[in-house]
Structure 1
Amino acid sequence: MNANELSEKSPDQLREELASLKKEAFNLRFQQATGQLENTARMRQVRRNAARVKTVLNQKAQAAAE
Structure 2
Amino acid sequence: MKILELREKTNEELQSLLLEELRSQFNLRMRKGTGQLDKPSEIKKTRRNIAKIHTVLNENKNISNKESV
Identify the residue that residue 29 of structure 1 maps to in structure 2: 29
Greater relative contact order (Cα 8 A, min sep 6): structure 1 or 2?
A: 1
Structure 1 residue ranges (4+ consecutive) displaced by more than 2 angstroms after TM superposition: none
TM-score (norm 2): 0.94
Identify the residue that residue 49 of structure 1 maps to in structure 2: 49
Check if 1:10 corresponds to 2:16.
no
One-letter amino acid matched to 1:40:
P
2:26 alignment partner, SS class: helix
Q: How large is the RMSD of aligned CA atoms in angstroms?
A: 0.3
User: How many equivalent residue pairs?
Assistant: 66
TM-score (norm 1): 0.99
Structure 1 gaps of 5+ residues are none
Structure 2 gaps of 5+ residues are none
